Amino acid sequence: MLSFRIGKQGSCGNLMEIDTPAPGPGQIGLEIHACALNFADLLMVEGRYQDTPPLPFTPGLECAGRVTAVGDDISEFQIGDRVAVFGGQGGLAEFGVFDAARAVPLPASVGYDAAAASLIAYGTSLLALEQQARLQKGETLLVTGAAGGVGLTAVEIGKHLGATVIAQARGEEKLAVAKAAGADHLIDASEDLRLRVKALGGADVVYDAVGGETWKAAFRATNPGGRLLPIGFAGGEVPQIPANHLLVKNLTVIGFYLGGLVSLRPELGRETFDKLMRWLAEGRITPHISHRLPLSETAQGLELIRNRKATGKVIMQPRPETTG
């Protein structure tokens, strides 16, 4: 089978022919039809991700496809079932083996592309905003990097939860994407974020995927009693948090990492992913996919994310002729 392999840390990776793996106890074998790229894949390739596997490995945190084999003690899945998987690695290949506990069944109306594009981005936003930050109807949510893979879902989920959403992104095209997802107010990344947010009444909850100076401005624009979620650091700088400001303004900074929470509370992860598949079937959420590329162009797909030329998700398709 073909697999996009990382054999040397920091390398761009190569498409290689390797043996098709067989599932062990508690695992399923999957014919992969779609794999969604994430910024975390870039960090993993560079050896800077908290869950980077030992070399060599196949990246690809989330994927969807058809079950081709089942290991011992598996009763919830059968050969031929269509599933989505948050495997943490292994999605950038024609076939993969994944823990069955990380898989959820797909409703008949949900295609592979949409399913693969939904687990991490929507799962992160739903759990972070609803479970961790307790975003309430009528509150103001600020989303930075709002046209990116997770940022765009935060705009959508925030609207579902009844918040007024301020979206920050770079350029008219990306802001238009955020507006289409439901953003009430738009701020270009070239503008003074703090002043613009303060003029809109401040933020009660901040969902920041950028870090650096963007985090600092968002932090200063947060209302007393507000909650801040440092989701990622696409800007490259991990911000330092002034504890004295937390004290004075009664602010709460909430650490959130989807992979860690799902490992700690697998039942919560499964419940969340099942809910997302239902929402997809009902049309309550619609993943924005800016690029669909064959598996052979995985390096180009990663560059789209590295250079911030993608909006929403980039989908790699090992079998584009059958991917839905």
Which residue, of 259, 275, 298, is where some domain finishes?
Answer: 259
Residue positions counted in the chain: 324
Residues 6 and 106 in one domain: yes
Secondary structure class of 6 (helix, strand, coil): strand
Specify the CATH number for the domain of residue 302: 3.90.180.10
- pTM: predicted TM-score of the whole model, two decimal places: 0.90
Classify residue 25 by burial, with Cβ atoms within 10 Å: 0-12, 13-18, 19+. exposed
Are 239 and 294 in a shared domain?
no
Cβ–Cβ < 8 Å for 217, 194: yes
Residue 265 in domain = no
Alpha-carbon distance of 322 to 24, in angstroms, equals 27
Instruction: Assess whether the previous peptide bond of 56 is cis (omega < 30° from 0).
Output: yes
Report pLDDT for 81.
Answer: 98
Please count the structural domains in the chain. 2
Q: Read out DSSP for 252-320?
A: EE----HHHHHHH-HHHHHHHHHHHHHHHHHTS----EEEEEEGGGHHHHHHHHHTT---BEEEEESST
264 located within any domain: no
pLDDT digits (tens, 9 = 90+) for 257-302: 998 888 888 888 899 999 999 999 999 999 999 999 999 999 999 9
Answer yes or no: are the C-beta atoms of 108 and 62 closer than 8 Å: no
Beta partners for 57?
6
Distance CA(160)–CA(182), nearest Å, equals: 9
The answer on 135 and 70 residing in a single domain is no
List the Cα angle 106/101/257 in 5-degree steps: 95
Identify whether residues 176 and 227 lie together within a single domain. yes
Q: Flag whether 17 is in a domain.
A: yes
Q: What's the pLDDT at 304?
A: 95
CA atoms within 13 A on the CB side of 108: 0
Q: Are residues 108 and 127 in the same domain?
A: no
Phi–psi pair at 206, nearest 5 degrees: -115, 130
Same domain, 240 and 173: yes
User: Among 259, 278, 296, where does a domain finish?
Assistant: 259
Contact present, 256 and 124 (Cβ < 8 Å): yes
- Among all chains, which residue has been given the structure tokens 């697999």? 3
- CATH number, position 255: 3.40.50.720
- DSSP assigned state of 130: I
CB proximity list for 142: less than 8 A, separation 6 or greater = 166, 168, 197, 203, 205, 206, 207, 208, 218, 221, 222
155: containing domain: 120-259
Q: Looking at the structure, do residues 76 and 174 belong to the same domain, yes or no?
A: no
Burial class (CB within 10 angstroms; exposed 0-12, middle 13-18, buried 19+) of 87:
buried
Whether residue 67 is found in the same domain as residue 85: yes
CA dist 275 and 186 (Å) reads 29
Q: What residue ranges of the chain have pLDDT lower than 50?
A: 323
In a domain, 100, yes or no: yes
- Does residue 272 lie within any of the structural domains? no
The DSSP code sequence of 150-188 is HHHHHHHHHHHTT-EEEEEESSHHHHHHHHHTT-SEEEE
Domain boundary among 215, 240, 259: 259
Quote the longest CA-to-CA distance of the chain. 59
Do 225 and 130 share a domain, yes or no?
yes
